[in-house]
Amino acid sequence: MRVVGGTFKGKKLFFINSKITRPLRDLVKESIFNIIKHSKLVDAKIEDSYVLDLYAGIGSFGIECISRKAKSVTFIEEDFKALKELNKNIKNLSIDKLAKVFASKINLCLDRLAFENKFDIFFLDPPFAKYDYKDDLMQIKKLNIFNRKHLVIIHREKKTTEDLNDILKIIKIKKYGRSKIVFATFC
């Protein structure tokens, strides 16, 4: 597990082997960032963006954003073991000033975040068996905490068939092994 691009390219990340959390594979992560940078379908940019990393785990996605010049990343994670590794990664890379970590359930943080700033990029990596993450998307939409040019990225199991059309406008879906990456915007 490492940072695949930007300022911290090649730096190793602390991670855990757990049935609850799973790291975002480097190949998948690199593909996501290539799509953000090069696809004409995607209007959001990493540079100078405000990123909300939900179900953050060890922070792999958000740290990658910081490495690629995001203005700041807000991480939300409730698993104690993952939080411990996330905080170690932030400290190890000396990015404390660019990272904000909430040790909480997502729905409890979103109301508070609505008073801080709007976000450009949302990354959700819920456990594959979890389906109530759609409630988090609905809450984000209701609170209107996204900028006009924004992007929602969701990492799911390839076999899942959730209907997100009442919340999101799907831009693109990519599949990698067991993973499915959904690129979307709020409708």
Taking only the tens of pLDDT, the chain with its 187 residues reads 899 999 999 999 998 876 655 678 889 999 999 999 999 889 899 999 999 999 999 999 999 999 999 999 999 999 999 999 999 999 999 999 999 999 999 999 998 888 888 999 999 999 877 788 999 999 999 999 999 999 999 999 888 888 999 999 999 999 998 899 999 999 9
CB 65 within 8 A of CB 116: no
Question: Who contacts 130 (Cβ-Cβ below 8 Å, separation ≥6)?
Answer: none
**Residues facing 175 on adjacent strands:** 180
* CB atoms closer than 10 angstroms to residue 147: 15
CB 54 within 8 A of CB 125: yes
Query: Residue 116 has what pLDDT?
Result: 81
Query: Residue 21 has what pLDDT?
Result: 57
Question: What is the C-alpha to C-alpha distance for residues 157 and 177, in angstroms, rounded to an integer?
Answer: 9
Whole-model pTM?
Answer: 0.95
The domain limits of the chain are 26-186
Token pair, residue 113, equals 């975040």
Question: What is the C-alpha to C-alpha distance for residues 92 and 78, in angstroms, rounded to an integer?
Answer: 21
Query: Residue 46 has what pLDDT?
Result: 97
CB 162 within 8 A of CB 175: no
CB 112 within 8 A of CB 141: no
CB 74 within 8 A of CB 49: no
Of the candidates 117, 105, 116, 183, the residue with the CA atom closest to the CA atom of residue 146: 117
Amino acid at 29: K
Q: What architecture (CATH level 2) is domain 26-186?
A: 3-Layer(aba) Sandwich (3.40)
